[in-house]
Amino acid sequence: MKILSKKIWLKAKKVIPGGNGLLSKRPERFSNSSWPIYFSKAKGVEIWDLNKIKYTDMSIMGIGTSTLGYRNDQIDKRVKKSINKGINTTLNSLDEYLLAKEMLKHDKFADKVKFARGGGEAMSIAIRIARAKNKFSKIAFSGYHGWQDWYIAANLENNKNLNNHLLKNLTPMGIPKELRGTIVPFKFNNFNELSNLTKKEDFSAIVIECGRYNYLSKNFIQKINQLCIKKKICLIVDEITTGWRETNGGLYKKLGIKPDIAVYGKSLGNGYAISAIVGKEKYMKYGNRTFISSTAWTENIGFNAGLAVIDFFVKNNVSEHLIQMGNLIRKGWEISAKKNGIKLEIGGLKTIPSFQFKYTKNNEKIYTFFTDMMLKEKYLATNSIYLSYQHKKKHVQKYLFTLDKVFKKINHLVKNKKKLDKIKTRKFNY
Ligand SMILES: Cc1ncc(COP(=O)(O)O)c(C=O)c1O
C-alpha cells in the first residue's frame, strides 16, 4: 500500500511546531504538492522515499552537510567503531583533543579550538567570546548566522533588516527588546557601509560569510582585514556553509581573509553533528573565562566524524572534484538556457552553483514548475546544488539532459498564460 507522506506531514505538524526542526527541509519550500518529504534510506547521491521510490539528489544534499555523499563508508566505519567503544562517558574523549590538533593543522592562524554540535550554537559561542574580550555589545554582520537571539535581534530595529541576508520575514518575536541595536547589518561586500558603522560606534566583532551567491571581492577583503587590525575588532568568518568544501578548511584561506575566529559546521561531520570554533589565543582564552559548556559537546560521534572527514578530504582531493562538477553544471545550465530561451542568471559558489530565473511576477511559479517536473524524472532539484564527492560526471550529464527537457517545457509554459495561472506555488518564505 502506498504511504501518503503528505498525510504524515500534516499529522507531524500537529505534534512538532512547523512539522520538523529545520525550515530548509520543509516540503512547502520546494513544491506545492509533490515533494517526497520523508526518506527511508539514502546512499551516495540517492535518496529513497517512504514508498521506496529512488531520487537523485541534485539539490541541497542534507542542506550542505553531506559533502562526501550520504552514508559514506569511510566516515561511517570510523563512527561505528567509536560507537562500539562508548559515546558519552564520565571520562573524556581523546578524539576531542585529536580533532582539535587536526583542525589546527589546517587553520594555521589559530591556536585553540572549541567544539559544539550545531552551527548556530557555534556562532553564539564565537560572539560570546568576542564580546567577552572586546567588551562592547555591538556586532556588525552580513550574511546568515543561525537562529539565536544575538542574530535575530537585528530585526528588532527594523523587521526587514535580515531580509537580504538569506531568510526573509523572520520575526524577532521572543527576543528581548533590550537587545535592540546590539547587532547591525551591512550589505554583503559593501565596505563603505561597514566603515561608516565603525566610525560611529565601537564593535566587538564583525561577522561575515566568505560568499553565498558570489564571493567577497579582493577590495572588500583587503579593507576589512585592515579595519579589524586597526580597530582591534574581532573578525569572525562564518564557514558553516563554505568550510571544508572548496578547500581543506575555510574558504577564507583561498580569499586571503585574516580572521581572528573561524566557525565550522555542516561539512565537518558529513551529516553527523559537529561544529567548531577555531581562533587566536587572545580570543579563545575567553572561551573558558566566560562560561560556555554543554553535555552533548563531549560525545564521541561528532569528533570521530570530523576526524574521518578531514582524513577523507586530504587523501581524495575532494575540493578539486567539487569544483570540476560545479564548472560542468554551470556550463550545462548556460547552454541549456540559451538553447531554450530561458531567462536565467547563473551564480553561486564554485562548489554550490545556483541559478535564478528572471521572470519577475511569474518567477515563483516557474521555480515550482521546475522542481515538480524534475521530480517527475526522479530528481530532487532546486535552483542550487550543494555538490558532493559522490556527484560524478555521469550524474551531472544525466541531470543536465533531464534539465534540458524541463527547460524546454518552461519555454512553452511561459507562453501559456492559462497553464501558468493554474500553478500553485511553493511557499518559500518563513
Ligand atoms: C553560514 C551559516 N551560518 C550558520 C548557520 C546555522 O547553522 P545550523 O543550522 O547548523 O544551526 C548556517 C546554516 O545554514 C549557515 O549557512
Q: What is the pLDDT of residues 356-377, one digit of tens each?
A: 999 988 999 999 999 999 999 9
Evaluate if residue 430 carries a pLDDT over 80: no
CA of 64, closest atom in ligand 1? 14
Q: Rounded to an integer, what distance in angstroms lies between the CA atom of residue 241 and that of residue 66?
A: 11
CA of 22, closest atom in ligand 1? 9
Nearest to residue 392, comparing CAs of 322, 327, 332?
A: 322
37-64, pLDDT tens digit by residue? Answer: 999 999 999 999 999 999 999 999 999 9
Residue 211 has which C-alpha cell? Answer: 560568499
8 A C-beta contact, residue 380 and residue 42:
no
Residue 3: band (very low, low, confident or very high) from pLDDT cuts 50, 70, 90: confident
Q: What mean pLDDT comes out for the span 277-283?
A: 98
Statement to judge: residues 133 and 275 lie in one domain: yes
Evaluate if residue 134 carries a pLDDT over 90: yes
Domain ends where: 316, 342, 359?
316
Q: Rounded to an integer, what distance in angstroms lies between the CA atom of residue 11 and that of residue 113?
A: 42
Distance between Cα 85 and ligand 1 center (Å)? 30
Q: Is the residue at 386 inside a domain?
A: yes
Q: Rounded to an integer, what distance in angstroms lies between the CA atom of residue 421 and that of residue 364?
A: 12
Query: Within a 10 A sphere around the Cβ of 346, how many other Cβ atoms?
Result: 15
Statement to judge: residues 220 and 267 lie in one domain: yes
Statement to judge: residues 293 and 351 lie in one domain: no
Domain ends where: 301, 316, 331?
316
Q: Which residues line ligand 1 (CB under 6 A)?
A: 118-120, 123, 143-146, 209, 238, 240-241, 265
Domain range for 262 is 73-316
Q: What torsion, rounded to 10 degrees, do the Cα atoms 103, 107, 112, 116 define? A: -50
75-116, pLDDT tens digit by residue? Answer: 999 999 999 999 999 999 999 999 999 999 999 999 999 999
Percentage of residues in the chain having pLDDT higher than 70? 100
Q: Rounded to an integer, what distance in angstroms lies between the CA atom of residue 250 and that of residue 105?
A: 12
Evaluate if residue 128 carries a pLDDT over 80: yes
Q: Is the residue at 414 inside a domain?
A: yes
Domain ends where: 316, 336, 357?
316
204-262, pLDDT tens digit by residue? Answer: 999 999 999 999 999 999 999 999 999 999 999 999 999 999 999 999 999 999 999 99
As a residue count, the chain comes to 430
Distance between Cα 125 and ligand 1 center (Å)? 13
Which residue among 238, 240, 242, 264 has the greatest number of ligand 1 atoms within 8 angstroms of its CB, and so is best to mutate?
Answer: 240
Helix/strand/coil for 44: strand
Q: Rounded to an integer, what distance in angstroms lies between the CA atom of residue 192 and that of residue 165?
A: 18
Statement to judge: residues 282 and 147 lie in one domain: yes
**Among 119-123, 167-171, 198-202, 419-423, which stretch is predicted with the lowest mean pLDDT?**
167-171
Statement to judge: residues 112 and 194 lie in one domain: yes
What is this structure's pTM? 0.97
8 A C-beta contact, residue 351 and residue 319:
yes
Burial group, residue 20, by CB count within 10 angstroms (0-12, 13-18, 19+)? middle
Q: Is the residue at 427 inside a domain?
A: no
Cα angle 247, 234, 188 (rounded to 5 degrees) comes to 60
Residue 387 has which C-alpha cell? Answer: 555538490
Question: Diameter of the chain by CA atoms?
Answer: 67
Statement to judge: residues 129 and 187 lie in one domain: yes
Q: What torsion, rounded to 10 degrees, do the Cα atoms 144, 148, 151, 157 define? A: 130
Statement to judge: residues 268 and 373 lie in one domain: no
Statement to judge: residues 387 and 298 lie in one domain: no
Of all protein residues, the one whose alpha carbon is nearest to atom 3 of ligand 1 is 145
8 A C-beta contact, residue 204 and residue 130:
yes
Statement to judge: residues 109 and 257 lie in one domain: yes
One-letter amino acid at 280 equals K
Residue 33: band (very low, low, confident or very high) from pLDDT cuts 50, 70, 90: confident
Q: Rounded to an integer, what distance in angstroms lies between the CA atom of residue 319 and that of residue 313?
A: 8
Q: Is the residue at 154 inside a domain?
A: yes
Q: Is the residue at 57 inside a domain?
A: yes
373-413, pLDDT tens digit by residue? Answer: 999 999 999 999 999 999 999 999 999 999 999 999 999 99
What CATH number corresponds to the domain at position 142? 3.40.640.10
Q: Rounded to an integer, what distance in angstroms lies between the CA atom of residue 141 and that of residue 152?
A: 12
Statement to judge: residues 288 and 298 lie in one domain: yes
- Per-residue pLDDT, 35: 96
Task: Name the domain count of the chain.
Answer: 2
Helix/strand/coil for 275: strand
Q: What mean pLDDT comes out for the span 293-318?
A: 98
Which residue among 115, 144, 208 has the greatest number of ligand 1 atoms within 8 angstroms of its CB, and so is best to mutate?
Answer: 144
Q: Is the residue at 428 inside a domain?
A: no
CA of 241, closest atom in ligand 1? 16
Residue with cell 556588525: 140
Distance between Cα 393 and ligand 1 center (Å)? 29
CA 228 to chain centre: 25
What CATH number corresponds to the domain at position 58? 3.90.1150.10
137-178, pLDDT tens digit by residue? Answer: 999 999 999 999 999 999 999 999 999 898 888 999 999 999
Q: Is the residue at 430 inside a domain?
A: no
- Per-residue pLDDT, 311: 98
Cα angle 335, 340, 346 (rounded to 5 degrees) comes to 50
Which residue among 20, 23, 24, 145 has the greatest number of ligand 1 atoms within 8 angstroms of its CB, and so is best to mutate?
Answer: 145
How does strand 183-185 pair with strand 205-208? unpaired
Query: Within a 10 A sphere around the Cβ of 307, how many other Cβ atoms?
Result: 21
Statement to judge: residues 256 and 168 lie in one domain: yes
Q: Is the residue at 126 inside a domain?
A: yes
Phi, psi of 102 (to 5 degrees): -65, -45
- Per-residue pLDDT, 271: 98
CA 226 to chain centre: 27
Distance between Cα 272 and ligand 1 center (Å)? 14
Residues in Cβ contact with 105 at an 8 Å cutoff, skipping those fewer than 6 apart? none
User: Quick one: how many helices (H) and strands (E) in the chain?
Assistant: 17, 13
Statement to judge: residues 122 and 134 lie in one domain: yes
